Amino acid sequence: VSDFAGLRLALTALDAQRRGVEVSAQNVANANTEGYSRQRVDLESIGSPAVPAFWSRFEGHGGGVKVADVERFRDAFMEIRAALEHGSMASLSQNATSMQALERLFNEPTDLGVAKQLSDFWGAWDDVANHPEDAAARNQLLQRAETLARTINAISSQMTQLQADTTAELRGTVVEINALSSQIADLNRTIKANTIAGIPVNELLDKRDLLANRLAEVSGGTVRSFEYNQANVVLNGTALVSSNNSYSLEVDTSGPSVAIRWADTSAIASVTSGKAGGQLTAINTTIPAYRSRLDSVVTTLRDDLNPLHGGITGSIASAAQNQATSGNLQFQMALNGGSNATVTVAGADWSGAGGAAALQTALQNAINTAIGAGNATVAVAGGNGSEMTVSITPTGTNALTVQASGTNAGFGLFMSTTAVGADGVGGRAFFTGTDAASFALAAHMIGNPNAVAAGVANGGPLDSSRALDIAELAQTEDGSDALYRQLIVQLGVDTSTAVSRDQIQSKATKALDDARAQYSGVSLDEEMTNLVMYQHAYDAAARFLSAVDEMLDTLINRTAV
């Protein structure tokens, strides 16, 4: 054993303890660095030779200490779980945000909401029914109808805006995904090279893992470890990052629904989780679902109201079916806002068997003569001892209006149940539009209170029986009001579910983050304790060095002088 072995041993101790202090210092310096994992020196004693030379004996002691490794505290399994949980939290939180934004659009339950305006609208019909002679009541009705239509239009356009905004956010998310993927691929390259060269990579790994977790969070992908400390990120089976290669995504808005595609193959990327997944769901599923519910509210309103207000119908009692002595029966009809043409039917006895068919032919021919063939279809049913019903349906997008021809009884006879305005004209639709965006008060109603049809053709000048019928639509069990209430309930249920799922997931994610922090996070108390520990060990090693020095001094200078 060499006389100087003690010196070398002391040196290894000084080195090792200093490394310990340095690692503690690194930990303390990074106590608040996001994604940093604490490190610890793994000390290992240098023992006797493992395989002594043949026939030789080893009488020495250990050779000191060495730093085997600087270990990075990170639990790979926990990291994978955390990435998954963060991905699903991002998706749920996006979902909650979209639902809350939708909920705000509807403004319920307040006086600004559609429910209140529907209710006001129906009330206005009652006011018209109470005072059909009062132009103010009719004007108020038209104003409320316009307010209702505009409120629904506004909600629809805000939904479109929300969808467009979310699509813009999705583009941002995809840009972030692409940037993260290529950064991770670059880091993988460096990490692999350094690992092969034996250069410490702990800090690079921390940085890479931070980016990989963020990528998992935004894209919903899974992180998998790969050879030479590399990490791959996989999106439902397809690689987003594979070793030092990254594959970018792009947003495709050309189709009916928005899609995320792989930039190189144009194949659809299956993004179902993460922030991007949440945004896709909002754009393609959540918002369209509510839009179609709102659409069905307005089409129901339109389809319930328009036949009552603008349908051209009549009913002829048995007693009135013999018109053989009435001469010509006439009424006026106008096609698509054109001028009135007189429809003339020669009175006949339609009371017997085949009377309905005969009247149908006679009316159809007369109408064809007046406004041209193919513009309207007449249907007559019943008769022969029971009531006869007449209905005239304009063809396609045609609009027909009808009114009496002077004092001739034809209008009151054939079109007895047609609703007519204060100007005597019937057949005008009240609302137009096919969805919430195009829903509007019909053009011929705007600013024309006399067009509000409160009564029916044979009900007398101030009849308001039709207005009463319309006002009662408010109570229909499957009417627009009921549909709208169902929409709002669904909105409430969906929003509160989305919010509570988000909260639950964020608790679960937080618990996992705590577990990771417990394992990987820097505790200042612990580092201070380590610092004191290494410092004392350093002091002791230094003390040992001077003891060996004194021993050598004794041996060299005091012996045999």
Asked if 499 touches another protein (CB under 8 A), the answer is yes
Per rule CB under 8 A, count of chain residues that contact another protein: 62
The helix/strand/coil state of 347 is: coil
Per-residue x/- mask for another protein, residues 129 to 168, rule CB under 8 A? xxx-x-----------------------------------
The helix/strand/coil state of 374 is: coil
Asked if 317 touches another protein (CB under 8 A), the answer is no
Asked if 79 touches another protein (CB under 8 A), the answer is no
148, 212, 471, 541: residue in contact with another protein (rule CB under 8 A): 471
47, 109, 327, 337: residue in contact with another protein (rule CB under 8 A): 109
Residues belonging to the chain:
561
Q: Please report how many Cα atoms fall inside a 13 Å half-sphere around the Cα of residue 106, on the Cβ side.
A: 22
288, 320, 513, 548: residue in contact with another protein (rule CB under 8 A): 513
Least distance between another protein and beta carbon 530 (Å):
10
* Binding span for another protein by CB under 8 A among 135-143, 239-247, 430-438, 516-524: 516-524
Q: Which residues contact 198 (CB under 8 A, 6 or more apart)?
A: none
Per-residue x/- mask for another protein, residues 289 to 308, rule CB under 8 A? --------------------
- Per-residue burial over 130-153, b if 16 or more Cβ lie within 10 Å, else e, is ebbeeeebbbbbbebbbebbebbb
Q: Please report how many Cα atoms fall inside a 13 Å half-sphere around the Cα of residue 509, on the Cβ side.
A: 19
Closer by beta carbon to another protein, 144 or else 192:
144
461, 478, 504, 508: residue in contact with another protein (rule CB under 8 A): 461
Closer by beta carbon to another protein, 4 or else 519:
519
Least distance between another protein and beta carbon 491 (Å):
5
Q: Which residues contact 250 (CB under 8 A, 6 or more apart)?
A: 174, 260, 261, 262, 263
Asked if 465 touches another protein (CB under 8 A), the answer is yes
Closer by beta carbon to another protein, 405 or else 480:
480
Cα separation, 172 vs 176, whole angstroms = 6
Least distance between another protein and beta carbon 123 (Å):
4
| 71 membership: H or E segment, kind and range | strand 64-72
Task: With CA atoms as reference, report the closest residue to 375 among 359, 361, 392.
Answer: 392
- What residue ranges in 253-406 does DSSP mark as E strands? 259-262, 312-316, 328-335, 341-346, 376-382, 388-394, 400-404
Per-residue x/- mask for another protein, residues 6 to 45, rule CB under 8 A? -------------------------xx-----x-------
Asked if 524 touches another protein (CB under 8 A), the answer is yes
Cα separation, 249 vs 279, whole angstroms = 15
For helices 76-106 and 287-310, the axis angle rounded to 10 degrees is 20
Tokens of 352: 């017997």
Q: Which residues contact 492 (CB under 8 A, 6 or more apart)?
A: 103
Asked if 551 touches another protein (CB under 8 A), the answer is no
* Binding span for another protein by CB under 8 A among 112-120, 169-177, 202-210, 275-283: 112-120
268, 346, 504, 528: residue in contact with another protein (rule CB under 8 A): 528
Handedness of CA 216, 222, 225, 227 (dihedral sign): negative
Specify the amino acid at residue 438: S
Report how far Cα 412 is from the mean position of its chain's Cα atoms: 54
Asked whether 302 and 434 are in contact (CB, 8 A), the reply is: no
Closer by beta carbon to another protein, 58 or else 519:
519
Asked if 388 touches another protein (CB under 8 A), the answer is no
Asked if 491 touches another protein (CB under 8 A), the answer is yes
434, 529, 546, 554: residue in contact with another protein (rule CB under 8 A): 529
Asked if 468 touches another protein (CB under 8 A), the answer is yes
Residue with structure tokens 């979209």?
98
196, 532, 540, 556: residue in contact with another protein (rule CB under 8 A): 532
Least distance between another protein and beta carbon 130 (Å):
5
Asked whether 280 and 177 are in contact (CB, 8 A), the reply is: no
Asked if 478 touches another protein (CB under 8 A), the answer is no
Closer by beta carbon to another protein, 59 or else 111:
111
Residue with structure tokens 């009921």?
482
Closer by beta carbon to another protein, 35 or else 63:
35
Closer by beta carbon to another protein, 193 or else 493:
493
Asked whether 466 and 457 are in contact (CB, 8 A), the reply is: no
> What is residue 53's DSSP assignment?
P
Asked if 118 touches another protein (CB under 8 A), the answer is yes
Asked if 89 touches another protein (CB under 8 A), the answer is no
Tokens of 343: 């429809």
Asked if 119 touches another protein (CB under 8 A), the answer is yes
Cα separation, 485 vs 492, whole angstroms = 11
Asked if 265 touches another protein (CB under 8 A), the answer is no
Asked if 476 touches another protein (CB under 8 A), the answer is no
Cα separation, 34 vs 420, whole angstroms = 74
Asked if 493 touches another protein (CB under 8 A), the answer is yes
Per CB under 8 A, residues contacting another protein are 31-32, 38, 99-100, 103-104, 106, 108-109, 115-116, 118-120, 122-123, 126-127, 129-131, 133, 455, 459-465, 468, 471-472, 474-475, 481, 485, 488-489, 491-493, 495-496, 499, 510, 513-514, 517-526, 528-529, 532
